[in-house]
Structure 1
Amino acid sequence: MPEEPQENISGGETASTAARFTTSEAETRAEAVVNDLGERYWQKTYGGTNAFESLVRTILSQNTSDVASQPAHDALMERYGADDSDADHDLAAALASAEQSALAETISSAGLYNQKSSMIIGAAERICDEYGGADEFGAFVREEPATAVREALLDIHGVGPKTADCVLLFAGGRDGVFPVDTHVHRIARRMGLAPADADHEAVREHLEADIPGEKCGFGHTAMIQFGREFCSAREPACLDDPEACPLYDHCDRVGVSPESGAVVDPSKGAAEE
């Protein structure tokens, strides 16, 4: 099984472990898709990342590529993270007291750096005030009911559903959490796993309802990789040859016409023949 590319993991370098599941007859088409993706890419369970760092990393990844957000994360950790001599260092406290202009300069490679620096400082202040620091916040994410954690995360300015779900998955290690990014949103609707006009939350609800909880985490990361390799927004592999796409037989190709080469967003209906 190939190693999972770290750029697919909004939670960063996760404490993931190999997982296995039985790929006997799936109960839903969505589960069959994840089974095939698991065979092609990887099967891992997630959890164990630092919850606050995972939150910061996912904020940095908003509206940008991993190629841009990773250097921003590395620079932030180098400037504000702990060194080997400070075992009691609290990243949340360090960022809560950070000067915004300095933080914005540090994370500039991620884009929208003024907005993101404000979000990060605000989140750090909130976590210090409400939980006491990064360690206590991590315990909350790991130990409290997932619905309560998600609700609390969504109440933090700058934290949307995908960010909250990534923290639940990569830091909390929660089953049944399927974060929806742009790749997942596009592929699920294009394949017919969710309604063509479904927003990100509706796609999440359909996937989490149709896929066993223990398969959601690696389904999320594998679907991202599949989107990058085979089912891109403008040039899905099926335009060249049905056999070029390993999931062709599972797909409704909503908004895609291999005959004409037309590709539109699934919400706009059938592509022109």
Structure 2
Amino acid sequence: MPDPEPEENISGGESGGGRAATFDPATAGTRAEAVIDRLGDIYWTKTYGGRPAFECLVRTVLSQNTSDKASQPAHDSLMVRYGGTDPRESDLAAALAAADQQTLAETISSAGLYNQKSERIIALADDICEEFGGAAGFDEFVKNGDPDAVRDRLLEMNGVGPKTADCVLLFSGGRGGVFPVDTHVHRIARRMGLAPADADHETVREFLERDVPAEKCGFGHTAMIQFGREYCTARKPACLDDPEACPLADRCDQVGVYPASGEVVDPAEASE
């Protein structure tokens, strides 16, 4: 089940890594901030942070190369089998380090690539138990350690890329100024002209974290994903047939989108 929408339109806060954000495109300091502010008029904003770090890491691994619709049931089944009757008192890392790989693979099969993901999760659990003593120690490190050191250590872990590391920092650590870049964010930022058309994921992250205030990055990440699913899809963005159908049409460079011909290409191809 998705998180219930809050009663108030808020972002940041103590558990979200920053103060409440004001969404006003007219006063935005950069074009990227103006885009995020406009998204603040469309989507509910939320606070982030506070999720158990290892569970967040596992959840993000399960989501790799698949949809939330497929990965969420896998996460739920994993938690039922390995999370214990009271997750606050059990050690998920210890339980998964001791898990039978084939049983875990069957448990998370809805997420796809389940053999690879089950091996990866068990290896991560082993690593975390050995270095941090279990899930609680890892949680302490993620939430209170130096953000750069936490990110560097996460990236050293097998199967953890920049997006996974940044999601753990954001959703568990509640770190301000962290803007995870998934396929939607990567496409939209380049298509709109917020980052170079040929930028890789890390370069897009650098541009967004530079141009979007720290307290708005978490909301910007989730809002751009939602916007990518509803309006700025990969093959048929809303502006292709009707510019007025997109609420951000006046903020977009339409890099790689050609309404006259109906063609849509990757922004990097449009820059060639």
TM-score above 0.5, yes or no: yes
Deviates more, 1:39-48 or 1:182-191: 39-48
- Cα 1:17–1:43, aligned 2, differ >3 Å: closer, same or farther? farther
| Structure-2 separation of matches of 1:102 and 1:189 | 41
- Shift of the alpha carbon at 1:132? 0.5
| Structure-2 separation of matches of 1:153 and 1:100 | 22
| Structure-2 separation of matches of 1:32 and 1:87 | 40
- Any unmatched runs of 5+ in structure 2? 7-14
- Shift of the alpha carbon at 1:4? 5.0
| Structure-1 separation of matches of 2:233 and 2:144 | 37
1:97 to 2:101 alignment:
no
| Structure-1 separation of matches of 2:250 and 2:54 | 41
| Structure-1 separation of matches of 2:206 and 2:246 | 26
- Cα 1:140–1:172, aligned 2, differ >3 Å: closer, same or farther? same
Q: Percent identity?
A: 69
- Shift of the alpha carbon at 1:121? 0.3
**What is residue 171 of structure 2 aligned with on the other side?**
170
**What is residue 184 of structure 1 aligned with on the other side?**
185
| Structure-1 separation of matches of 2:17 and 2:23 | 19
**What is residue 225 of structure 1 aligned with on the other side?**
226
- Shift of the alpha carbon at 1:3? 5.2
* Match for residue 25 of structure 1 among 19, 24, 27: 27
Amino acid in the other structure paired with 1:50: P
| Structure-1 separation of matches of 2:154 and 2:75 | 20
TM-score of the pair, normalised by structure 1: 0.91
**What is residue 107 of structure 1 aligned with on the other side?**
108
**What is residue 259 of structure 2 aligned with on the other side?**
258
TM-score of the pair, normalised by structure 2: 0.91
- Count of paired positions: 261
- Shift of the alpha carbon at 1:19? 3.7
Q: After the TM superposition, which segments of 4 or more aligned residues of structure 1 sit over 3 Å from their partners?
A: 2-5, 14-20
Cα RMSD, aligned residues only: 2.1
Contact 2:198 2:271 in 1 (8 A): no
What does residue range 48-127 of structure 1 map to in structure 2 within 5 Å?
Answer: 48-84=50-86, 88-127=89-128
- Any unmatched runs of 5+ in structure 1? 6-13
| Structure-2 separation of matches of 1:105 and 1:235 | 35
What does residue range 177-256 of structure 1 map to in structure 2 within 5 Å?
Answer: 177-256=178-257
- Shift of the alpha carbon at 1:43? 2.1
